[in-house]
Structure 1
Amino acid sequence: SVRLVDGTSLCSGRLEVKSNQFWSSVCEADFDQQDAEVVCRELGCGAPSVLQGALYGEAEALMWTKEFQCEGSESVLLDCGSSGSARNTCSPGKAVGLTCSEPDDVRLVGGASRCAGGLEMKQHGDWRPVVDRFSVWSLKSAAVVCRQLDCGSAVSTERRKNSSSRSVWRIRSSCLQSGSTLMECVLTWSVSSSSSLQITCSGNTINDINYDSNVSSLFLPLSQ
């Protein structure tokens, strides 16, 4: 029901809210820090770091007409209260632009940069490798991870066969491809596996795309 558009990642952009199948921008005067905390939480991002009108361009969508009145503890923005009076206009340059901090519950490890390596996720303080429920992981699924890490687009995705089994988080990649975040697609039961997922993202710098080709040859390619 919420999204950040025209930003650099899932966690930044101009705020739009969906209601009755239509997306609406929100006027800066109708949105505050507590509202921002709820949006960042709903998107699976960290705490809000920047809240500023027109930070990510002027609104192109309809305007939300009522002021949000969140307490800050809600999990979904549309669960928050709203003002009774409707706003008819919003000054130019005042559509809400929001930047949330990047989530610290997803990482790529063992690669040449933070934008390449084995996919791991943290839940309940426990970091574990991630595997797909049906051992099928596409570039489209990997692209969700790259965007979440602000690492550009997905370049390759492979499955690594490890020498021993360990506890892993299992993911439904079809859930990811429907627009959900990695955290929302985790299957809750515990499982052990000797496989893990290796992802290479394009990265934001030249160094991010220089990964070790000798290491990457050790991984078994998945279906694309």
Structure 2
Amino acid sequence: MGTKEFQCGGHESALLDCSSASERNTCSPGTAVSLTCSELVRLVGGESRCAGALEVEHQGEWRPVEDYYYHWTLKTAGVACRKLDCGSAVSVGRRKESSWRPVWRITSDCVESGSALRECAASAYSDSFLNLTCSDKLFQPNISVSSSMYGVSGAQQQGFQVFRGSTFSISCSIQPQYPGGSFLLSSSTHNYTQPAVNHSAHFLFPAAEPAHQGNYSCVYHVSASPQDSSSESRLLSITVTGVPSDPEPFIIRAVVLLLTQLLVLLVTIGLYFYCKATRGRRLSRQEDIELDYDDLGVPAEEEGAQGAE
């Protein structure tokens, strides 16, 4: 594999700014490094990373972009939004400043031809700069389900089974981008909505029924300037079954129940024999007392009188 060795001091803003040696075949299989290059583009001074003044880094210098002859359209701005992974362009504006400063003059025709922004940049001075607002593509929400019998499972192709009558819950979550928002848990037969608390929501189903089975997805919705945005998770299939696919929990429950009943039975039998033995000792003692009186020749009447005394 042909490679080029770069020597960087740490202050360079791009790999090509580093000094390079001649090409050498030094990489052994499994040790090669691949690089993915992207343009240095940013939006500054806005309410989010996807809104503000458009700036481009070219020749080691960041400058705002001038809209030459005001020809930039939503289509042109969409190129910059996509490079920032911010969805599509929502608005294109201009910001005026009181003084002139160095800018990169970029024409819409050059951008829409497919050229890189830095390839279209020409040095100029201006007091008018491009201000863009992109839709800011939301992250995809996560969906998971937990059951009192089966633990936790992510969104898997084979879906998830719950036993009829058991308790289960479906959780929706998303990486933080905006505060607030709400989650819609959607299926073919039901829709449930909850506000997002700490970027998540939990939907509880106390007793699983056949009506609860189906394909579920989490839809995150947030009202953010300048427009509302939403994002949907992968599908999660829920199947409600009368026969558990994993009998282990039920075996454990049956064993515990059997042992409990056996313990109750043993305690009952023990109490029965204890009471019987105690009663037998009392009767034997009473007979011994009567025999003692008979040996002494005491009549029954005197025995009663002596007992009264």
Q: Please give the TM-score of this superposition, normalised by the length of structure 2.
A: 0.35
Q: As a proportion of its length, which structure holds more helix?
A: 2
TM-score normalised by L of structure 1: 0.47
Q: Which has the higher Rg, Structure 1 or Structure 2?
A: 2
